[in-house]
Structure 1
Amino acid sequence: MPRYRHVSLQGRNSDRHARASPISSDPRFPTPVPLLTQAPVKFTAVRHCDFVCCLLLLATAGCHATESATVPVRDDEPIKADRHTAPALTVRPSVWPTTVRTQGTLVADEHAVIGSKVSGRVAETMVDLGSIVKRGEPLVRLDPVDFELHVERANAQLAEACAAVGLEVSSDTRSLDSESIPFVQVEKAIWQEASDALARLRNLHEKNAVSQAELDKQVALTRVANARYEAALRTVDENLALIQSRRAELAQVKQDLKDATICAPFDGVVQQRHLAAGTFVQPGTPVATVVRIDPLRFQGRVPERKATLIRVGQAIRIHIEGNPEMINAQVVRTSPSLDPSSRSLQIEAEVSNPKSVHRAGLFAEGYVEVDATATTLSLPENAVGEFAGVHKVWFVKEDNHIGIRTVEIGRRLPQRLEIVSGLAEGDRVLEQFTDGDHRNSELLTRHE
């Protein structure tokens, strides 16, 4: 009978197979049967059956190991329902005044290019770009030397004219009596003497005491005296007129001296300074540009098809670029005619700007309220979501399930949006548009 021997594979391979076996340490299973090697290898029937049983046991152990790795499902764990809890609201009409939209610009209430009234050289500039000035505050000062000399000369000429008639410089010419002036009194006395002499000669001529030639001579002398007297009176009138002229000249040069200091005509801000010290200016030369920005004027244009709806006194809400808040104002001026090139009506509103927050030149949009009692469908801003320019709401269906619906929005108010299409009166939507997919979810709360 041939002899058989067991041969076990020792080394790394046998150890690795022993460690990898899931049942190698389980006492319920026998120790793995070592491999038998013989050339040729032969088994008895008993040995062959043992080997087959070991293979079956290994397969059974692997199945148990697989089943034990599966996570069991608890029978008492509740299954999550497809439901959503959130407040809802009903779409209803709300008061939303009908408005006419207009685009425009904020412009300065007053804009003045200040020029010089007199000729002269600039001695000093007191303002620059952005300087805040009050009415009467100096902007530029010219060299006053020439103007002061002109004032002195005018004073001297006035004093000369007053002295000619014996009048004080400060005296009123209307109270002057021409007969009281000395040279007038002299001429009047000569004329009276000649008149008396003529009267005496006429008496003597009647008595043939004097000749006709002597009488004619006296008549001529009397006429000359009378003419000189009249001339003296006219001279007084000329001197009085000259005094008035000298006083006007004095007032003019004093005004020139005053105008040598160029002042702001109103409260405002310096937009531009046109010259510097040392510049020689002529009358009309610009020295600075001053604008008044409190209030500002909103100038907008309304299309022709809506121009008939605009009236002075209507409320207007103005949105200034870069300012999130709306400004309430009134339409204060409208053009009497439409611009033929743009077929639009120009309107103006005043925007209060006490702290100079807004600046002239800003772009602005105006909404003129033409019907304050109009209504429209609207929703809170939080109820509407936006993605890629598309606006959507969570819509509550009749069966109380949630769906998504696209809407078109129109005008905007703070925290509220006008719904142009996509919803009807009585529809229900979620009060808050949130991220996530709530479609076909059941709404658990009733609408408000």
Structure 2
Amino acid sequence: MKIIPVISAVVVLAALYFAVLERDRLMEFAGVTTTDAADPETDAAAEETLAEENEAPAQGVGVVAIRSVAQTIDSAVILRGRTEAARQVTVAAETSGLVISEPLRKGATVEAGQEMCRLDPGTREASLAEARARLTEAEGRVPEAQAAVAEANARVREAEINLNAASRLSQDGFASETTLVSAQAAMDGAQAGVQRANSGIKSAEAGIEAAQAAVAAAEREIERLTIEAPFAGLLETDTAELGSLMQPGTPCATIIQLDPIKLVGFVPEIDVHKVSVGAVAGARLTNGDEVQGTVTFLSRSADETTRTFQVEVTVANADMAISDGQTAEIVIASDGRTAHLIAQSSLTLDDDGVLGVRTIDANNTAAFMPVTLLRDTAEGVWVTDLPDEVDIITVGQEFVTDGVRVAPTFAEAKG
């Protein structure tokens, strides 16, 4: 049997004996003084500290909040677009001929009905005179046809008298059957003459109509020699040069109308319900100018590729300061919405990644509410989907969760 483990066990037992049963003597031998009664002041301080520790959670976590009231703000649809002339047309020749007018240069202002190109008439004046002569000749045939009709009617009346006389004589036995047949034949011939005379009148009237059509065609051909501006505007190209040969379809000039001018953009299908015809709209051009007009057209058919809807805004342009084809940022006003203006730092995310804010309910406990971001401004962000009046935590929202009691300090809300 080894002696060292036995000695170690005896030493441990002795140490435990003095530490437990002879504690007072051991402390006195070590120079430590103990008292049986506790210090009342120390106990009071300890109890006060414990009370404060228990009271802190009951008061809540300190946060900074604002009492926000919803406001009505103007909503708008913002798009990129371009300016476009209200009208644009390439005026072309309708007949052939040489240009005999001096050209107008591009950029010139023209009025509605102003001459732009004039063609050489050639023999068209002679053709018109011939058509008018034929009309006069056709009109002269009508009295002759009418006289023939009157003569034919007279012969019918004469044949009718002879036929009646022959019929009575034949009944009395004073005329032969041959005489009666001859009188009937004369009657039939007279009636056929009336029909021929009436056909002559119709033929004369048809001749008049044909002659009138020829006159109108000749006059219209002469009118085509002068090419006029269909509306007031600006020449985008020079008119046809003097001496150039024009054929039907050959361009004379291109005219654009810039007053009023259109702003053309395309609205995404998610925002098309916010736009309506007659809505107020504005635009900022690339040179910084700002213009205002109204929506005059909204397409009801989406583009098959982009799924967007074309919208047109009409803007006054009396001074022609806006050109065709300029890039523009278009803003179209829509119905106002109620929203809250808060600092962007007040926004937070819940465990599912939903954007929202921490609010304070009537029991001074924190609650998460999702929001929809409407607009970002220099003063803050406009959000919706909140009650009209709500207490929003602006500082400390990241340190509380739903149901945690808070001790809010209210700051002034943004106006």
TM-score after normalising by structure 2: 0.62
Structure 2 partner of 1:303 = 268
Q: 1:348 aligns with which of 285, 290, 312?
A: 312
3-state SS in 1 of match to 2:300: coil
Q: Is the CA contact 1:96–1:376 (under 8 Å) kept in the aligned structure 2? A: no
Residue-by-residue CA offset, 1:55-95 (whole Å, 9 max, x unaligned): xxxxxxxxxxxxxxxxxxxxxxxxxxxxxxxxxxxxxx998
Distance of aligned partners of 1:246 and 1:376 in 2 relative to their CA distance in 1, 3 Å threshold: farther
**What is aligned with 1:237?**
202
For residues 246 and 180 of structure 2, the distance between their equivalents in structure 1, rounded to whole angstroms, comes to 71
Q: Which one has a larger percent helix, Structure 1 or Structure 2?
A: 2
CA contact (8 A) 1:316 1:368 kept: yes
Q: Specify the structure having the higher radius of gyration (Cα).
A: 1
Q: Deviations over 1:348-374 (max 9, x none)?
A: 100110111111111111112224466
Which position in structure 2 is the counterpart of 1:98? 75
Given residue 233 of structure 1, which amino acid in structure 2 is its aligned partner? N
Structure 1 residue 345, shift from structure 2 partner: 1.8
**Normalization by structure 1: what TM-score?**
0.57
Contact 1:97 / 1:375 at 8 angstroms: preserved in 2?
no
Structure 1 segments (4+ residues) deviating >4 Å: 93-96, 371-378, 417-421, 424-427
Please list the CA deviations of residues 304-356 of structure 1 after superposition, one character each: whole Å capped at 9, or x if unmatched. Answer: 3222222222222201111x232122222111022121121211100110111
The 2-side partners of 1:309 and 1:205 are apart by: 100
Give the counterpart letter for 1:302 in structure 2: V
Partner residue of 1:334 out of 290, 298, 318:
298
Determine the structure 1 residue equivalent to 2:127: 150
Paired amino acid for 1:104: G
Q: Are 1:357 and 2:334 matched, yes or no? A: no
Structure-2 residue corresponding to 1:431: none
Secondary structure in structure 1 of the residue aligned to 2:264: strand
Structure 2 counterpart of 1:317: 282
Quote the Cα distance in structure 2 between the aligned partners of 1:132 and 1:425. 64
Count residues with an aligned counterpart.
287
Partner of 2:176: 211
What is the CA-CA distance between 1:138 and the residue it aligns to? 0.9
**What is the RMSD computed on CA atoms of the aligned residues?**
3.2
Identify the residue that residue 370 of structure 1 maps to in structure 2. Answer: 334
| Aligned-partner Cα distance in 2 for 1:102–1:374 | 23
Contact 2:117-2:239 at 8 Å conserved across structures: no
Q: Distance in 2 between matches of 1:135 and 1:279?
A: 24
Q: Counterparts of 1:148-297 in structure 2 under 5 Å?
A: 148-166=125-143, 181-273=146-238, 275-297=240-262
Give the 3 Å change call, closer, same or farther, for CA 165–357 of structure 1 in structure 2. same
- One-letter code aligned to 1:240: E
**Could you say what secondary structure the match of 1:272 adopts?**
coil
Q: Which deviations, in whole Å up to 9, do the C-alpha atoms of 1:238-273 show, x marking residues without a partner?
A: 212322332232223212212221111111112224
Extract unaligned runs of 5+ from structure 2.
Answer: 1-69, 343-374, 383-391, 396-415
Distance verdict in 2 for CA 1:125–1:208, change over 3 Å: farther
Deviation string for 1:22-74 (max 9, x for gaps)? xxxxxxxxxxxxxxxxxxxxxxxxxxxxxxxxxxxxxxxxxxxxxxxxxxxxx
Map of 1:16 onto structure 2: none
Aligned-residue sequence identity (percent) comes to 26
Quote the offset at 1:147 in angstroms. 2.4
